[in-house]
Structures are given as structure tokens and as C-alpha cells.
């Protein structure tokens, strides 16, 4: 008789001593699921296909998944990415092999939106410089008036992208009485109208925004979409925020704009190179707030991401299409349908 449904967890989900990398990723639902077993694989990047020959599903953290990661057995049915970014996964290779790539939008929607809000308030409130002033005691207090913050009422909040996270950020920002604009060629006009967002062209977005957030995925089309020419359109009083992926922004161009005070500042949770080189000039600037691609990392965020991944693989085990499938075309492929139907027959609904 066929064995249990087998789930692989990428090796970077546990430390060298065997302890979990993230204690808030609750594996107990996998432990309790009938006819399911899971195991950690070695922390290779990219993952080798040989490690996945006997698995039906993979929960993937940071290790890369490439063409070479596809097992020859044809057994692997789903790769569940721990998060929403999937630039480390060869999506086309997954589709060709009838493997569904799943991300976890529900797990990161609120945490990342809160991160954008955190950077917006820190930048406009001059939080970092005021912290430094306070530590200088009397001398710092004497210079408080030199660092006036920026009020938000009536200011223009722009977003490059209004998908899952971008839309949630606008919901959080509603009480601030700002003007909302966005550019997103895939936007749902009805949703934009419901959120009070005016859809505008790319150049208008950069020209009008007082705070501009990058909330789009990294693709060949969006790499360096925020470049020197578009930064030059921004107001000298404007702030740029990026919590998406570093290469969406031309970091050399942004560094030059910040050095020349062509924009007021930036808040970056992501960089083109992570971690950055010690001599990266952006590290020396005092008009940028930098966090290590971890601003949204909270107990609730990681618990939510983990729960979404666990739910996805258990859905597949029971023959159901999981939420958050990236390569939707795989759902119409005969190989994928056959696997899913087979799981449904074996493990029930």
C-alpha cells in the first residue's frame, strides 16, 4: 500500500543543534495530521532534487529552489514558500514539473503593512535624529527646533502597487486623513475606489507623492523600476519607503539622491545586496532608516506564515487546491490534476 503523505522542511528552518530557527512556527498540526510525516532536509542552496525524491511537499524558507531541485521521481506536488517573496524559486521549472508554488499572503499582510507604517511615522516624525538629540542631553535639547517633523493630514500617500500588502497599508492609513494615489497596472478599480485611492500613471505617482511606498513584487519588469529618472521627479520634501525587495530600487541612484538631498529621506527594510558590504555608502547616510529585511518579523507574523504553509500542504494532502498559488497555470495541467485527485482518493476530504 502507498505510504503516508511526506512533507520536507528546508534545512534552514532549524539550527545546527537541531532547535527550530523560528520557535513561533508551530509544527504541531503536521505532527497531529493523520497519514502525514515530515522531515528536515540538509540545508543546501540550491536544494538538490535528490533530497526530495521521496517527498510530496516542501516547506521552503530561504534556500533556493531551481531546475536542479526538481526530483526525478515526479512525486513532489507543492512548494510552500515561507513568506510572499518567491524570487529564490524557479517558477517556470515548478510549472513544467507540475509543482504548485504557494506563498502566504494572509500571514504577512498586516505585519508588512505595519512595517511600512512604522517607517512612515519614523521618517516624518524625525524619530532617529530626535533619539540622537536626546542622548546628547542639554546640547541636543537645544537643537530640537532644527528638526521639525512633517504632519500627515492632507499629504499625498503613494504606493507602487496595491496588492495584498499595499491595500492593507491604505486601510491602516485611513485615519490620517491623507490623499491616496497609486500606480498598479493590475489594480482592481473597484477595490481602489473602495479604499479611496486615485489610480495614476507612473510619473504622476513620483511627482505627487509626499510619502511613496514600494509594494510590488520583484520581477524582470520591476527590477530598478525606481531609478534615477523617477527619483528626480520626486519632491525634495518626499520620502521613499521600500519593504518589498531591494533590487526594485536602483540603490546607487537612491544613494546619490539622498546624498544630494534631492529627496528628504528613505526608509528601507530591503537592500540590493543583503547583507550589504561594510563600505556600502548608504550605511553612512543619516537621512535613511535601515532595517535588515526583518522589520515585520514578530511572533505573530511568523506564526501566521507557518500556519499558512502548514494549511497549504495539508490541503494538498486532502486533494484540495491550496490558497496562494503563484503559478496558477499549473492548476490546469493534467499532471497536477492527477496528483491532486490521487491525494484526495488516498487521504480523503
Catalytic residue among 109, 245, 311, 339: 245
Cα gap 128→136, rounded to integer Å: 13
39 DSSP β-pair partners: 8
Q: Is 293 among the residues known to form the active site?
A: yes
Q: Is 23 among the residues known to form the active site?
A: no
Q: Is 274 among the residues known to form the active site?
A: yes
In 3D space, the residue among 335, 243, 323 whose CA is nearest the CA of residue 289 turns out to be 243
CB atoms within 10 A of CB 190: 8
Half-sphere exposure for 72 (CA within 13 Å, toward CB): 1
Query: Which residues fall within 8 angstroms of residue 130, CB to CB, at 6 or more apart?
Result: 144, 147
- The answer to whether 199 and 183 have CB atoms below 8 angstroms apart is yes
Catalytic residue among 293, 318, 320, 346: 293
User: If you search the block for the grid coordinates 505617482, which residue do you land on?
Assistant: 205
Catalytic residue among 203, 274, 338, 341: 274
In 3D space, the residue among 6, 4, 7 whose CA is nearest the CA of residue 59 turns out to be 7
**Active-site positions?**
245, 274, 293
Amino acid at each position: 500500500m502507498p505510504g503516508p503523505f511526506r512533507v520536507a522542511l528546508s534545512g534552514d528552518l532549524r539550527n545546527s543543534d537541531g532547535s527550530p530557527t523560528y520557535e513561533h512556527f508551530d509544527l504541531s498540526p503536521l505532527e497531529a495530521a493523520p497519514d502525514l510525516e515530515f522531515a528536515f532536509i540538509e540545508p543546501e542552496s540550491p536544494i538538490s532534487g535528490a533530497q526530495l525524491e521521496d517527498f510530496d511537499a516542501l516547506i521552503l524558507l530561504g534556500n533556493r529552489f531551481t531546475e536542479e531541485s526538481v526530483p526525478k521521481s515526479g512525486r513532489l506536488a507543492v512548494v510552500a514558500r515561507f513568506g510572499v517573496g518567491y524570487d529564490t524559486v524557479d517558477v517556470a521549472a515548478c510549472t513544467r514539473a507540475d509543482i504548485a508554488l504557494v506563498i502566504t499572503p494572509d500571514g504577512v499582510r498586516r505585519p508588512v503593512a505595519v512595517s511600512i507604517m512604522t517607517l512612515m511615522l519614523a521618517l516624518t516624525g524625525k524619530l532617529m535624529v530626535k533619539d540622537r538629540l536626546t542622548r546628547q542631553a542639554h546640547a541636543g535639547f537645544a537643537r530640537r527646533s532644527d528638526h521639525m517633523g512633517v504632519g500627515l493630514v492632507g499629504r499625498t500617500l503613494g504606493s507602487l502597487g496595491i496588492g495584498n500588502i499595499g491595500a492593507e497599508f491604505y486601510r491602516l492609513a485611513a485615519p490620517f486623513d491623507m490623499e491616496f494615489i497609486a500606480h498598479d497596472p493590475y489594480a482592481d478599480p473597484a477595490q481602489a475606489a473602495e479604499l479611496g485611492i486615485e489610480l495614476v500613471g507612473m510619473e504622476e505617482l513620483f511627482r505627487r507623492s509626499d510619502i511613496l511606498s514600494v509594494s510590488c513584487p520583484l520581477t524582470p519588469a520591476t527590477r530598478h523600476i525606481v531609478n534615477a529618472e523617477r527619483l528626480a521627479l520626486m519632491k525634495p520634501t518626499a520620502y521613499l519607503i521600500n519593504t518589498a525587495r531591494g533590487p526594485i530600487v536602483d540603490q546607487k541612484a537612491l544613494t546619490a539622491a539622498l546624498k544630494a538631498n534631492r529627496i528628504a529621506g528613505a526608509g528601507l527594510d530591503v537592500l540590493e545586496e543583503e547583507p550589504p558590504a561594510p563600505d556600502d555608502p548608504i550605511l553612512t547616510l543619516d537621512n535613511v532608516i535601515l532595517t535588515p529585511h526583518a522589520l515585520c518579523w514578530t511572533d505573530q507574523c511568523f506564526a501566521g506564515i507557518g500556519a499558512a504553509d502548514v494549511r497549504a500542504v495539508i490541503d494538498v494532502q486532502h486533494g484540495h487546491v491550496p490558497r496562494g498559488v503563484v503559478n496558477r497555470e499549473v492548476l490546469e495541467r493534467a499532471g497536477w490534476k492527477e496528483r491532486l485527485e490521487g491525494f484526495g482518493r488516498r487521504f480523503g476530504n
